[in-house]
Amino acid sequence: MLQLQAIREDKEQIVEALKKRNIEALPIIESVLQLDEKRRSLQARLDNTLAESNSISKEIGQLYKSGKAAEANFLKERTGSLKEESKELNEALTATATELQNLLYQIPNVPHTSVPAGSTEEDNEEVFREGDIPTLKEGALPHWELARKYDIIDFELGVKIAGAGFPVYKGKGARLQRALISYFLDRNAAAGYNEIQVPHLVNEASGYGTGQLPDKEGQMYHIGEDDLYLIPTAEVPVTNIFRDVIISESDFPITHTAYTPCFRREAGSYGAHVRGLNRLHQFDKVEIVRVEHPTKSYEALDGMVEHVKNILRELKLPYRILRLCGGDLGFTSALTYDFEVFSTAQDRWLEISSVSNFETFQANRLKLRYKDENGKSQLAHTLNGSSLALPRVLAGILENYQTEDGIQIPEVLIPYTGFDKIS
């Protein structure tokens, strides 16, 4: 959520910056400023009314002590009208503040200056590429056919149990999945991230805190009876650990990693590009989350990018990094780098990680603050990244490591799997 003070002081710059997202934000920004002015006016009137009421109450006490009951009773009538007026002002203030908050929730984060302009993923800027794309022999199979051939993932059984997008991993497929989770967590821990386990359900306040609500409400699974949401990513519960928290400057940086299953409705996703593991309703992911001092957050973002690079180097998967354009940038992000692994059998790039800096956007919603050297409360910066999302990493391994007599296991994973080939 953008800060009101920033909107008041930098209206033109914010409106211009949001054009990178292909948004004409001036009307909603003007509405925000009008509501903010109304809110402040109501607050001032309410404060004056309460102050007058308190002053008269003290005066009434003095009059009674002085034996001036008639004058005291006359003033009591005034306090009655003031109480009614303060009640009406308070109700109007609450309604205006709620309307203002709801408008602010609709405005996305301001893109970083380095974000390229653009409308779709075709306008994303490739900033790095590494790894040799293997040459597969004729007859190489996509991962969904390999899964069937070696009986390691059963998509049809998942349909029977839950529906499309809920695969069942079997045998060496399940063990490879578990190996990847353990490997990612170990690599993150070695890089200084503190491993935690978090709930897979969150309340509405948590969804609003990290910006999934109201923006992604249609993509989240909602349990109506309990008013809880299945998490779309570990980012939500991990970051919400710090909701309504004031930390010290000495606490920076705060670094966490967590494995969770993730749940996304993926409404409207159809076609060949969603086959197999390409797009699921339930999938596993290991996440890294950082809470940083504002002056250090972009240095931290660069470090997160390098960390994910090193994991992919160890897996020996060909990958590229994209800087997302304004039109493809997530609602809460100021700057995002997407990692994509090349799927040789499908002859296409598959997104496997997003690493983002949200600056103060989430912290403002979360009320996540720190005390600066002057003892003043300031908003922290939050960052997160996939390290990594498993389905498409697994798809890349199955396809790129396939041979005529089986699927080789990346060397770095063999200590975790206990086998070197699926055959």
121-422: CATH homologous superfamily? Bira Bifunctional Protein; Domain 2 (3.30.930.10)
Q: Where in the chain is the domain with CATH 1.10.287.40?
A: 4-105
pTM metric for this prediction:
0.92
Q: Round the average pLDDT of the chain to a whole number and report it.
A: 94
Torsion of the alpha carbons at 106, 109, 110 and 116, rounded to the nearest 10: -110
| pLDDT value for 271 | 53
CA distance 11 to 17: 10
The pLDDT tens digits of the residues spanning 157-206 come to 999 999 999 999 999 999 999 999 999 999 999 999 999 999 999 999 99
Please give the annotated binding residues for ATP, written as ranges: 264-266, 351-354
Across 99-120, average pLDDT:
96
With cut-offs at 50, 70 and 90, classify the pLDDT of residue 399.
Answer: very high
Structure confidence at residue 83 (pLDDT): 85
Which residues are part of a known binding site?
A: 233, 264-266, 287, 351-354, 384
pLDDT tens digit sequence for 286-299: 999 999 999 999 99
What is the pLDDT at residue 39? 97
Q: How far apart are the first and last CA of the chain?
A: 51
What count of other Cβ atoms lies within 10 Å of the Cβ of residue 299?
11
Please state which architecture CATH assigns to domain 4-105: Orthogonal Bundle (1.10)
Interatomic CA distance for residues 337 and 342, integer angstroms: 16
Residues of the chain with CATH 3.30.930.10: 121-422
Q: Are 118 and 124 in contact (CB under 8 A)?
A: yes
pLDDT tens digits, one per residue of 15-59: 999 999 999 999 999 999 999 999 999 999 999 998 888 888 777
